[in-house]
Structure 1
Amino acid sequence: MSELGATTSPTKWVADQAKLYEESGGTKGLTVQGSPCLLIDTLGRKSGQWRRSVLIYGRDGEDYLVVASLGGSDHHPLWYLNLTANPQVRLRVETERFAATAETLSPAEKARVWPHLVEVFAPYAGYQQKTERDIPVVRLRRAAD
């Protein structure tokens, strides 16, 4: 368990990165392979427990954008399945922690922001080519206080 009662991924590098990010108050562990990352807590659709993941992000105005790529896998990552069931999420972006609402982008919106996301993390282009699955892009919008 981590701060706010979220269980971190069983994947070691994700757990280590999330721990460093959280324990430093958002001053360390801010990148993955040179790209900016955030912590996202989603409510487990089966367990009802909060789950924490580390995700690379891009920006669209004030909103954050994350890609449900799972390295080009043929199935969606669990965090994405969780937020489709409950779009209310918790984020840590650097030193700030806040609630947000998640929304999967339409094909037109995805096409508009995809070049920016590939600039942020070039492997995304190859991930989409690896799979027949349309890799979702999710907008994370800060919840009203």
Structure 2
Amino acid sequence: MSNAQDTNNRDVTASSSYDLNNREMLKKQMEQMNLPIIEEFRANGGKVGGPFEGKNILLLETIGAKSHQSRINPIGYMKEGDAFVVIASKGGAHTNPDWYHNVLAHPEVWLEVGTERFKAQATIPEREERDRLFAAFVQQEPGFAEYQKNTTRILPVVILRRI
């Protein structure tokens, strides 16, 4: 059995498994990083300190697109009428966050805002609406403009409405 090779005749089998292992390791690190934020959020009625102090934070619970397991992510939001608007920024990385893929696959989600927990429906706005919401979000949280500058992808906007 031969290993997969790239165009320069290099073995890429180990590299491919390394990439998969690295992705899984990064996912675990993110979960470990999020856990104390989630615990603090729940212990303090939806408030967190540190770099998130005074920010609008919600907990977004999704069903994994591939795993079908529950996933919880703390995410900054902006209110738009009765909806919650979030940005799939991943800090300006070149790939979308996993939670974004999850809401595309399973748009019915759970939100925790303050001490309230409820079901919501995730929708992706059309480009014009996305641009308007993104600009409004940047007015509230200017750092997101920098995230957009750091990547070639258009940062997705997600609208979350109670159902």
Partner of 1:44: 64
CA distance in 2, matches of 1:142, 1:131: 31
Superimposed CA distance per residue, residues 3-50 of structure 1 (whole angstroms, 9 cap, x where no aligned partner):
xxxxxx7424421111111234x2432782542110000001111110
SS of residue paired to 1:127: helix
Partner of 1:66: 86
Number of aligned positions between the proteins: 134
Matched, 1:124 2:144: yes
Partner of 1:28: 47
Q: In angstroms, what is the RMSD of aligned CA positions?
A: 1.7
Structure 1 gap ranges (5+): 1-8
CA distance in 2, matches of 1:88, 1:51: 13
Superimposed CA distance per residue, residues 58-105 of structure 1 (whole angstroms, 9 cap, x where no aligned partner):
011100000000011110000001110000100000111100000112
CA distance in 2, matches of 1:66, 1:27: 16
Partner of 1:86: 106
2:123 to 99, 103, 117: 103
CA distance in 1, matches of 2:53, 2:41: 15
Note closer, same or farther for the CA distance 1:116–1:49 as it changes in structure 2 (3 Å cut): same
Structure 2 counterpart of 1:123, one-letter code: G
Q: Which has the higher strand share?
A: 1
CA distance in 2, matches of 1:28, 1:124: 21
Note closer, same or farther for the CA distance 1:101–1:84 as it changes in structure 2 (3 Å cut): same
TM-score (norm 1): 0.85
Q: Which runs of 4+ in 1 moved over 4 A?
A: none
The farther-off stretch of 29-38 and 77-86 is: 29-38
Q: Work out which of the two has the higher radius of gyration on C-alpha atoms and give 1 or 2.
A: 2
8 Å contact from structure 1 (residues 39, 54) kept in 2: yes
Partner of 2:155: 135
Note closer, same or farther for the CA distance 1:57–1:27 as it changes in structure 2 (3 Å cut): closer
Structure 2 gap ranges (5+): 1-27
Q: Relative contact order (alpha carbons < 8 A, sep ≥ 6): 1 or 2 greater?
A: 1
Where in structure 2 are the equivalents of 1:4-23 lying within 5 Å? Answer: 10-11=29-30, 12-23=32-43
